[in-house]
Amino acid sequence: MIVMLTDGVAMANQIISLICAVVGLICTLIPIVIVAIRFVAKAIKDKNWKQLRSIADTAMKEVEDYSKKHPAITSEDKLKMALDIRQKTLVSRNIAFSDKDKENVEAYINQTIKLFNSRK
């Protein structure tokens, strides 16, 4: 009887030790998983921004090439054309973009145009 009781207590201790080890492992892994998720989300966001910026650069180059052939085009028309090209490119490539992305790209295009104009 005592041997059976001792075996039961030993098994209970082993089960409790196993549960504690699993809980400890989970507590250790949670912060690592959170950091990994944040890293992946940032990488995706950075990749999307680089892609959006590349599309904006291409649109601005196309507009500049067009404006060389049509010198009467205004800065406002250039901006509108660049934004239209950007929009059509995003749609044609089936790239998801948010309103925030649209605002960021528009600000980037405006900033680039100001920088370009300041060098003239």
State the Cα angle at 42 between 38 and 43, rounded to 5°: 115
Q: What is the DSSP string of 21-84?
A: HHHHHHHHHHHHHHHHHHHHHHHHHHHHHHHHHHHHHHHHHHHHHHHHH-TT--HHHHHHHHHH
pTM (2 decimals)? 0.56
Mind listing the pLDDT tens digit of every residue in the chain (120 residues)? Answer: 555 556 777 788 888 999 998 898 888 878 877 877 787 777 666 667 778 888 888 888 888 888 888 888 887 888 888 888 888 888 888 877 778 877 888 888 888 877 776 765
